[in-house]
Amino acid sequence: MTLLQVMRQDAPDEIVLRTRDTSRISALLRELGVEYGQWELHLNATADTTQEELLASYRPEVEALCKRDGLVLVDVASLHPESGEEWAERAAKARATFLEEHRHAEDEVRFFAHGTGCFYLHIADNVYAVVCEAGDLLSVPAGTLHWFDMGPQPDFAAIRFFKEEDGWVGDFTGDPIAQKFPRLDALLAGDR
């Protein structure tokens, strides 16, 4: 299930709020200008599901969102567990890159068709950790400071939406703030 955990930027161990209530998550994020919603899952995506199959399964939703928000480029970002040292190194490198605080010149819009990932939104004095799972749609407004954790064993497929071809390129702040906050695996372990 989706999770929102709010922490103070200067006290990462202090939990201001923790909830799995999607209505509450949606309302709280909306107040921040962040869109959160859910789409019905149309297929059980696996590591063998192609980008074409995934996009075809969600064609009506994708087309409606593109029309509504003026999005013109759509693709799929995915990582699935593989065996071997090469995969482990590739996964660790990908994880480390996005665990640095950055912003984008356009909205970062993602639909999770499979798996889990966490967006950390650094807004005002708080950090909002939004754990997204299959079925979740999140739109982070342009200019919002954030980072993303795909976990130690990345396993996800997300449809990405852009207005420009380089819309995914991040402007990294160099601030080490992301290193102070609990990672995806720690957030999920908090339920145990």
Residue 164's domain is classified under what CATH number? 2.60.120.10
Distance CA 128, CA 32 (A): 10
What per-residue confidence (pLDDT) applies to 170? 80
CA dihedral 67, 140, 134, 148 (to 10 degrees): 140
What is the sign of the dihedral through the CA atoms of 91, 94, 100 and 106?
Answer: negative
For the annotated binding site for Ni(2+), the residues are 102, 104, 108, 146
**pTM across the whole model:** 0.94
Beta carbons of 142 and 163 less than 8 angstroms apart: no
Q: How confident is the model at residue 191 (pLDDT cuts 50, 70, 90)?
A: low
How many structural domains is the chain composed of? 1
- CA nearest to 140, candidates 36, 22, 12, 8: 36
Strands (E), 20-154: 35-38, 73-79, 102-103, 108-123, 126-133, 136-140, 145-149
Instruction: Tell me the pLDDT band of 97, cut-offs 50, 70 and 90.
Output: confident
Please provide residue 104's backbone torsions phi and psi, each rounded to the nearest 5 degrees: -125, 155
pLDDT band at 137 (very low <50, low <70, confident <90, very high): very high
Annotated binding site: 102, 104, 108, 146
CA distance 134 to 52: 18
Residue-level pLDDT at 99: 94
Q: What pLDDT, on a 0 to 100 scale, did the predictor assign at position 141?
A: 96
Query: Binding site for Fe(2+): which residues?
Result: 102, 104, 108, 146
pLDDT of residue 80: 87
Query: What residues make up the domain containing 93?
Result: 3-189
Share of the chain above pLDDT 70, in %: 97
Secondary structure class of 56 (helix, strand, coil): helix
